[in-house]
Amino acid sequence: MLKGKSAVVTGSTSGIGLGIARALAAEGASIMLNGFGNPAAIETLRESLAHEFGVTVLFNGADLSKGEHCAALIRDAETRLGGCDILINNAGIQYVAPVEEFPVERWDAVIALNLSASFHTIRTALPGMKTKGWGRIVNMASVHGLCASVNKIAYISAKHGIVGMTKAMALETAGLGITCNAICPGWVKTPLVEAQILARATAHGVSEDQAMRDMLSERQPSKTFTTTEQIGGLAVFLCSSAADNMTGTALPIDGGWMAL
């Protein structure tokens, strides 16, 4: 379905980004991976994706907390991959603390990566999409782009900002063959959430299994994690022709969290 399309997936060396990269590659898109990690492990991942799906897979390790690196990532995709038809703004970090104790440098880091990076990748990728008359921008928001929880001020501010950015981009690109939508997952068991499970187990003096069950039963009525494959499937749908007239949406995939 996506043969001939080139996709940049930020933060795709792990978790949700990797799930989306796999799903897009399975549909025939060529992929630019991005993110941190052990260089040898990333090279193995790159090779195995290319081999499994028979598509071109490249890697660029840009640190997207820096605006100029975001722009360079897109330009690299345009040079080496043939473009950036599909832009998945996924890279993100979390920091948990009450607002009075929230380190200012952590605020800056979360806003830089979880919000500003998407501005920089979008502003750089948009001219190429306009020239081709086709583009898909998918921003990874969160249920925390639609509602709040305690002790996550920077993350929640950034994710609400991403939902707003999604709407603004949808209006600026309407009618040009370009769509911009946000995905809003609830709990997904990735390294980002595993750190929160461990912190909760330690704070409450319970096992990690118990901490996990408690987290799910508090906010996610299905009591099961959304999987990275399910989010990959939603991203593929947003890139399909069935979604040609869907833009500016923020789609929960959260086991009912937003229905509470």
The catalytic site residues sit at 155
Does 92 bind ligand NAD (CB under 6 A)? Our answer is yes
Does 232 bind ligand NAD (CB under 6 A)? Our answer is no
Does 91 bind ligand NAD (CB under 6 A)? Our answer is yes
Does 50 bind ligand NAD (CB under 6 A)? Our answer is no
Of 208 and 244, CB closest to ligand NAD: 208
Residues 93-132 as x/- pattern, contact with ligand NAD by CB under 6 A: x-------------------x-------------------
Q: Which stretch binds ligand NAD (CB under 6 A): 78-86, 89-97, 146-154, 202-210?
A: 89-97
Q: Show contacts of 168-173: CB within 8 Å, 24+ apart.
A: 169/122, 169/137, 169/248, 170/247, 170/248, 171/248, 173/126, 173/129, 173/130, 173/135, 173/137, 173/247
| Dist. CA 70–CA 29, nearest whole Å | 21
Three-state secondary structure call for residue 135: strand
Among 5, 7, 8, 14, binds ligand NAD (CB under 6 A): 14
Query: How would DSSP label each residue in 153-215?
Result: HHHHHHHHHHHHHHHHHHHHHTTTTEEEEEEEE--B-SHHHHHHHHHHHHHHT--HHHHHHHH
Structure tokens at 251: 């789609």
Does 181 bind ligand NAD (CB under 6 A)? Our answer is no
Of 17 and 255, CB closest to ligand NAD: 17
User: Cα dihedral angle (240, 241, 243, 248), rounded to 10 degrees?
Assistant: 90
In DSSP terms, 11 is beta-bridged to: none
Does 165 bind ligand NAD (CB under 6 A)? Our answer is no
Of 131 and 151, CB closest to ligand NAD: 151
Does 17 bind ligand NAD (CB under 6 A)? Our answer is yes
Of 231 and 239, CB closest to ligand NAD: 231
Amino acid at position 152, single letter: K
Among 6, 13, 60, 118, binds ligand NAD (CB under 6 A): 13
Of 30 and 65, CB closest to ligand NAD: 65
Does 83 bind ligand NAD (CB under 6 A)? Our answer is no
Does 234 bind ligand NAD (CB under 6 A)? Our answer is no
131 Cβ contact list (under 8 Å, min separation 6): none
Distances (CA, A) of 150 to 97, 98, 105, 154, 167: 8, 7, 19, 11, 25
Does 190 bind ligand NAD (CB under 6 A)? Our answer is yes
Residues near ligand NAD, by CB under 6 A: 11-17, 34-37, 63-65, 90-93, 113, 140, 142, 185, 187-188, 190-193
